[in-house]
Structure 1
């Protein structure tokens, strides 16, 4: 598999829309910045751990 193919295979192609209180969202995003990570990365990590711990595929 070439680098280009590998990059395509790992590409994210779906979105999950959440409704949050603005203050809560802003505090979360700021905390992620302070921890040198992104909100999206942390949410993806949460989903993966949740799936693994709860028998998701």
Structure 2
């Protein structure tokens, strides 16, 4: 049986940010080249950042 690694939590919120178009395009292109998505990589960064900076 294949294990599903997806989070059971529903994604129900958005984060809007403004950045330079050239940076955005380079990021999206690189993600595509690495066979991932920009959203997936941003979520991965946020989770890692929260984990690294978690306070007890």
| Interval of TM-score (by shorter of Structure 1 and Structure 2) | 0.7 to 0.9
> Unpaired runs of 5+ in structure 1?
1-8
Whole-angstrom CA distance in 2 between matches of 1:18 and 1:24: 13
Partner of residue 44, structure 1: 43
| Aligned residue-pair number | 49
Partner of residue 3, structure 2: none
Whole-angstrom CA distance in 2 between matches of 1:10 and 1:52: 17
* TM-score when normalising by structure 2: 0.81
Partner of residue 15, structure 2: 16
Shift, 1:11, TM fit: 1.5
> Unpaired runs of 5+ in structure 2?
1-7
Shift, 1:34, TM fit: 0.1
The structure that is helix-richer by fraction is 1
Whole-angstrom CA distance in 2 between matches of 1:10 and 1:28: 26
* TM-score when normalising by structure 1: 0.79
